[in-house]
């Protein structure tokens, strides 16, 4: 049962990732692309945790944690760049 | 005293004059003098043994793999030169103390002088030609410093540059010649080379080696056509001219000719190249010298002439000529150094050395007059002074020498040389000291203090004594030195005495002296003719040559390096592709041994995302911000790939490096156009696209080929896996490799990282120190700005994140030895945690709270790593050997300690410092102090107070 659920979840998040990428490529506005990239980070975290669950390993936990903790910093940097031009004022 | 110490003493002592100059000029001069005296005494202790015919040796294998051994030996020839270098060095140090004025940096002078002295002693005592070459180059460099000592004089700088160019180019040729010589002989040790005469002269490479070595020797000893640098080097202070350009450095070339005489001499090639060059140089130098009005220029050309004389004697290749050459080296060093010093005295006291403005000085400077007269008469070859003796021997030898079948050519030209030599020597006496006293000297000339005339007087004393009692005083020295030159064979019959009877040489001497006197009487009309005659100006030719070379170099360099990245990349990649294609064509490729694995759906999706993102990037790369977003996508997918392919350490590093890179790029993009302009033509782009595609496909194919086959040998991975815990005490092999197996590499890398950050800082400082600063301060953003400079939500979020992120960094750091993590990743995480504060709360806010400068953090990191590495020495193990063990403290569980963790702490600190220093430096470009007065949300109570008082007020 859990395996089926895991596979289902894998497919969902993977599709999410691909759709994010679709948006990065096709979006009109850079802001939309950045948003799509940020969502890619979230889907990546989900995939990493799921992979760990599926393998029964906790080795990917730190990677997921660091993406969660630091991934947003680059998003913020892009956003500041669009808004202010200068990211460290 | 050991030969090592004698050669090293001047180098060791060179430190003291520069330091002691603070204690006064006497202290500085005494330090230099004592060092030289010590070395001289050490040398003299070897005198009895050397004069007995022994050879003193000292050996030390330096780089045996290259054949470079620090072997020294002292035989008669080396002893003669070493005593000249150190003995005259002592006199020069004394003379210079009184010659240099108060404004001259005397400490520097003595330091350069001692460096030069050490290099010269090294040349003459080296028993290894590679070692000799090192010292040879050192003399070029130190003489450059000495010639250009008066930095404020353009002639000094130009002369120094010319001397360095000519002697340096000669040195380069000589390296080639010496390598060939060593190759023929099978050893770079001189003693071995000197004993393989037959092999060397029979070798087809004999002539190339000979020519290359001769170029080196001739440039150094100012032989025609390389003689022109010596007169220009006269811009140096007179002590330098007296020391380098009469007694020592210019004789290095002669020394080399004499040293290699046993193996190189005796062939027709040697005779026609060396003797002819010497003969031309001797005659040409003597003629030019007569028409020079500058005292030092006259002496410079006379030196050129005398060096030519000695070269010619060595070139004859006969044993008698070798004896005469050695004898003349001694005599020339004594009278010429004295002459230079007396010229310096005249210059020093009369404030001019233009012969046209001098005359009649014998009344005003009797002591100088006496010194100069004796030395000049010796130079002219007048008995009973020492110059007469060796010149007689020279003339005697020319009579027995036929050049190309003509028996009269060599003696005839030698006679002309001697005639002009007598003429300029007489001119030095007559036009400077004799004649009526003048009233228009630039200064009132008088004899100098004893300190200044003592050194030349001593030399003049030698001139007389050697002349009168030559056999007693220098007989044994000449015999051993000449014995060393001719390679230990039996010396020919000769006698060092004034009267040999009525020989051809005596008649030639008489003709030369009488003719010289006549020439001097005719000097005025002759000089007018000389001035009107057209003749090539060496300096102009030299400078035109250098300018042409510079143009050529610039054309080539600019052609290859035009500053365009595509060109560099195209050249490099096309070359690599061509090389790889050749390797593929000429090598063999075995059949694949591995089968492909099955791939799941998600890896395929990841792969496809990578392709899509990259392809889109290629299409849209001119939009720079979009390119950065796509880099983010690529980075994310790659780090996912690292996770999937079991490289969690790499994944962690990749994620954190991505963030730092994006911040760095965005900081730079602020100052750059947001679109990349199209600069190259369609054709060029097509070319670049094809090169890139071929290279990309090639690398892809290479990797595919590599991964579908097993390695031929066993890889190093097995060793690392086995020994990671045993040797390094950690189960995370990646980390153990970084901090233990390859710890030395890591140590080097953190140093490089720190240096890179410091360079970024230095460049920032340099740019912000110029007018650019004003431009940056007044810069208006190129795009409209929206929103808040420090949004509250971001400020709160980052401040809450900071301790969490630092905690994670600590966690990643400590577990690194056994599980994915380590100092490098932890450092990146900590740096990002801090850079978040810069972004959210502003540069000013973050800088105020920055207590430790980032430079110091880098430095402490490197020092901690170094100290950890050195710590292993105390337990007698090699650098960076790690130790580990287990500790159990009551309430805690048992845990491991490892010195590797301390090393990792160094890595951590260096990474934090380097990343922050680099980013902070770059963000300073855009920082406009005072532009954003709204403070970031501040929990500083003091500021609340300020706000309150402002409100109340």
The CATH number of whichever domain residue A71 belongs to comes to 1.10.287
The pLDDT-based confidence of B54 (bands split at 50, 70, 90) is confident
The pLDDT-based confidence of B491 (bands split at 50, 70, 90) is confident
Contact A14 B602 (CB under 8 A): yes
Contact A89 B927 (CB under 8 A): yes
Of A67, A70, A26, give the one whose Cα is nearest residue B801: A70
DSSP reduced 3-state for B180: helix
Cβ contacts (< 8 Å) between B838 and chain A: which residues?
A: 88
* B891 against B556, higher pLDDT: B556
Kindly tell me if the per-residue pLDDT of B950 is higher than 60. no
Task: Say how many C-beta atoms besides its own lie within 10 A of residue B559's C-beta.
Answer: 9
Please name the residues in contact with B158: beta carbons below 8 A apart, sequence gap of 6 or more. B232, B235
A64 within domain boundaries: yes
**DSSP class of residue B898?**
E
Q: Residue B951's pLDDT is what?
A: 52
CA dihedral (B451, B457, B458, B464) in degrees, to 10, reads 180
Specify the pTM.
Answer: 0.70
A30 within domain boundaries: yes
A56 within domain boundaries: yes
Of B269, B270, B327, B339, give the one whose Cα is nearest residue B301: B339
CA distances from B874 to B154, B745, B746 (A): 55, 21, 21
CA A89 to chain B, closest CA, distance in angstroms equals 5
CA A1 to chain B, closest CA, distance in angstroms equals 20
CA B629 to chain A, closest CA, distance in angstroms equals 7
Please check whether residue B200 is in contact with residue B262, taking contact to mean a CB–CB distance below 8 angstroms: no
B787-791, B875-879, B918-922: which range is least confident on average?
A: B875-879
Kindly tell me if the per-residue pLDDT of B554 is higher than 70. yes
pLDDT digits (tens, 9 = 90+) for B874-890: 777 777 777 777 877 77
The pLDDT-based confidence of B932 (bands split at 50, 70, 90) is low
Kindly tell me if the per-residue pLDDT of B768 is higher than 60. yes
Q: Residue B401's pLDDT is what?
A: 82
CA A2 to chain B, closest CA, distance in angstroms equals 18
A37 within domain boundaries: yes
Residue to test with chain A: of B629, B804, B828, most A Cβ within 10 A? B629
Rounded Cα distance, B518 and B507, in Å: 16
Residue A44 forms contact with B (CB below 8 Å) = yes
SS3 string of B338-385? Answer: HHHHHHHHHHHHHCCCEHHHCCCHHHHCHHHHHHHHHHHHHHHCCCCC
pLDDT digits (tens, 9 = 90+) for B303-335: 999 999 999 999 988 888 889 999 999 999 999
A89 within domain boundaries: no
Q: Which of B609, B612, B785 sits opposite A84 (nearest CB)?
A: B785
pLDDT (average), residues A71-77: 90
Rounded Cα distance, B877 and B863, in Å: 19
Rounded Cα distance, B354 and B504, in Å: 38
Q: Residue B953's pLDDT is what?
A: 42
R_g (Cα) of chain B, nearest Å? 38
A43 within domain boundaries: yes
A13 within domain boundaries: yes
pLDDT (average), residues B525-538: 83
A75: containing domain: 2-84
Please check whether residue B746 is in contact with residue B739, taking contact to mean a CB–CB distance below 8 angstroms: yes
Which residue do the tokens 């979009």 mark?
B626
How many helices and strands in chain B, by DSSP H and E? 44, 6
* B303 against B475, higher pLDDT: B303
Number of separate domains in chain A = 1
Cβ contacts (< 8 Å) between B628 and chain A: which residues?
A: 78
pLDDT (average), residues B442-468: 87
Contact B839 A69 (CB under 8 A): no
pLDDT digits (tens, 9 = 90+) for A53-66: 888 888 888 889 99
pLDDT (average), residues B132-147: 91
Q: Residue B943's pLDDT is what?
A: 54
Q: Residue B931's pLDDT is what?
A: 62
Kindly tell me if the per-residue pLDDT of B82 is higher than 90. yes
């Amino acid at each position: 049962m859990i395996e089926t659920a895991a596979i289902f979840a894998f497919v969902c998040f993977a599709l999410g990732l691909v759709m994010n990428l679709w948006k990065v490529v096709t979006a009109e506005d850079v802001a939309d692309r950045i948003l799509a990239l940020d969502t890619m980070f979230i889907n990546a975290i989900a995939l990493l945790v799921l992979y760990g669950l599926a393998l029964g390993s906790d080795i990917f936990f730190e990677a997921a944690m660091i993406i969660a903790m630091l991934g947003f910093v680059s998003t913020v940097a892009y956003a500041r760049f669009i808004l202010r031009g200068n990211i460290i004022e | 005293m050991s030969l090592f110490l004698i050669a090293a003493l001047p180098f060791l002592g060179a430190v003291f004059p520069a330091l002691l100059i603070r204690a006064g000029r006497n202290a500085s001069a005494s330090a230099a003098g004592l060092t030289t005296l010590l070395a001289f005494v050490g040398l003299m202790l070897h005198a009895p043994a050397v004069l007995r015919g022994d050879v003193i040796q000292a050996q030390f294998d330096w780089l045996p793999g290259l054949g470079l051994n620090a072997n020294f030996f002292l035989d008669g020839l080396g002893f003669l030169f070493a005593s000249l270098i150190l003995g005259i060095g002592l006199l020069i140090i004394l003379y210079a103390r009184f010659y240099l004025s108060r404004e001259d940096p005397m400490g520097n002078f003595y330091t350069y002088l001692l460096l030069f002295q050490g290099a010269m002693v090294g040349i003459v005592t080296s028993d290894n030609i590679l070692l000799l070459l090192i010292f040879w180059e050192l003399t070029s460099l130190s003489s450059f410093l000495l010639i250009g000592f008066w930095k404020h004089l353009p002639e000094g700088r130009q002369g120094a540059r010319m001397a360095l160019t000519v002697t340096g180019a000669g040195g380069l040729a000589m390296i080639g010649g010496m390598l060939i010589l060593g190759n023929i002989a099978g050893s770079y040790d001189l003693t071995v080379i000197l004993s393989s005469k037959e092999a060397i002269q029979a070798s087809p490479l004999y002539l190339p080696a000979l020519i290359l070595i001769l170029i080196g020797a001739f440039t150094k000893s100012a032989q025609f056509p390389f003689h022109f640098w010596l007169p220009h080097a006269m811009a140096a202070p007179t002590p330098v001219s007296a020391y380098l350009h009469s007694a020592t450095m210019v004789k290095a070339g002669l020394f080399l000719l004499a040293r290699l005489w046993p193996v190189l001499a005796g062939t027709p090639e040697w005779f026609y190249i060396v003797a002819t060059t010497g003969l031309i140089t001797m005659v040409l130098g003597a003629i030019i010298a007569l028409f020079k009005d500058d005292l030092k220029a006259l002496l410079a050309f006379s030196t050129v002439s005398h060096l030519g004389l000695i070269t010619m004697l060595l070139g004859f290749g006969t044993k008698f000529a070798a004896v005469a050459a050695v004898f003349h080296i001694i005599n020339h060093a004594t009278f010429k150094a004295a002459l230079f010093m007396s010229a310096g005295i005249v210059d020093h006291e009369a404030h001019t050395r233009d012969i046209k403005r001098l005359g009649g000085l014998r009344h005003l400077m009797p002591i100088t007059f006496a010194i100069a007269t004796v030395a000049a008469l010796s130079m002219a070859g007048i008995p009973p002074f020492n110059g007469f003796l060796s010149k007689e021997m020279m003339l005697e030898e020319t009579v027995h020498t036929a050049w190309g079948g003509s028996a009269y050519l060599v003696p005839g030209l030698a006679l002309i040389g001697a005639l002009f030599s007598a003429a300029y020597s007489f001119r030095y006496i007559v036009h400077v000291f004799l004649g009526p006293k003048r009233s228009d000297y630039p200064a009132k000339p008088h004899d100098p203090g004893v300190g200044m005339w003592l050194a030349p007087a001593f030399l003049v004393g030698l001139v007389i004594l050697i002349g009168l009692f030559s056999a007693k005083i220098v007989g044994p020295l000449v015999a051993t030195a000449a014995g060393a030159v001719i390679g230990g064979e039996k010396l020919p019959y000769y006698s060092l005495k004034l009267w040999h009877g009525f020989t051809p040489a005596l008649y030639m001497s008489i003709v030369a002296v009488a003719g010289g006197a006549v020439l001097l009487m005719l000097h005025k009309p002759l000089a007018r003719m000389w001035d009107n005659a057209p003749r090539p100006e060496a300096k102009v030719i030299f400078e035109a040559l250098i300018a042409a070379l510079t143009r050529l170099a610039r054309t080539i360099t600019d052609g290859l390096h035009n500053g365009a990245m595509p060109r560099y990349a195209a050249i490099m990649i096309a070359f690599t592709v061509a090389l790889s294609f050749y390797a593929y064509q000429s090598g063999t490729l075995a059949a694949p041994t591995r089968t492909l694995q099955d791939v799941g759906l998600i890896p395929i999706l990841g792969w496809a995302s990578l392709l899509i993102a990259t392809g889109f990037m290629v299409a849209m790369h001119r939009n720079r911000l979009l390119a950065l977003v796509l880099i983010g996508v690529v980075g994310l997918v790659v780090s996912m790939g690292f996770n999937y392919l079991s490289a969690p350490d790499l994944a962690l590093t990749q994620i954190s490096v991505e963030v730092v890179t994006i911040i760095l790029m965005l900081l730079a993009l602020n100052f750059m156009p947001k679109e990349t302009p199209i600069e190259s033509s369609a054709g060029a782009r097509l070319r670049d696209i094809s090169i890139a595609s071929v290279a990309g496909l090639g690398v892809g194919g290479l990797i595919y080929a590599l991964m579908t086959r097993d390695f031929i040998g066993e890889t190093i991975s097995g060793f690392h896996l086995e020994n990671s815990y045993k040797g390094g005490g950690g189960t995370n092999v990646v980390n153990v490799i970084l901090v233990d197996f390859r710890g030395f590499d890591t140590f080097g890398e953190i140093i490089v990282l720190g240096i890179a950050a410091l360079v970024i800082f230095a460049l920032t400082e340099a740019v912000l120190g110029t007018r650019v600063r004003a431009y940056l301060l007044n810069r208006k953003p190129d795009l409209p700005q929206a929103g808040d400079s420090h949004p509250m939500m971001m400020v709160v979020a980052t401040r809450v994140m900071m301790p969490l992120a630092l905690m994670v960094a600590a966690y990643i750091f400590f577990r690194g030895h056994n599980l994915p993590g380590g100092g490098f990743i932890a450092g990146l995480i900590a740096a990002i945690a801090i850079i978040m504060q810069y972004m959210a709360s502003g540069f000013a806010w973050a800088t105020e709270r920055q207590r430790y400068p980032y430079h110091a953090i880098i430095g402490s990191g490197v020092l901690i790593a170094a100290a950890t590495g050195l710590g292993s020495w105390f337990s007698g193990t090699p650098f960076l050997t790690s130790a580990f063990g287990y500790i159990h403290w009551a309430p805690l569980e048992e845990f491991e300690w490892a010195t590797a963790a301390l090393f990792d702490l160094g890595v951590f600190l260096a990474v934090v410092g380097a990343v922050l220093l680099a980013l902070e430096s770059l963000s300073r470009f855009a920082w406009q102090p005072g532009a954003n007065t709204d403070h970031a949300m501040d929990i500083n109570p003091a500021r609340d107070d300020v706000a309150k008082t402002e409100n109340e007020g």
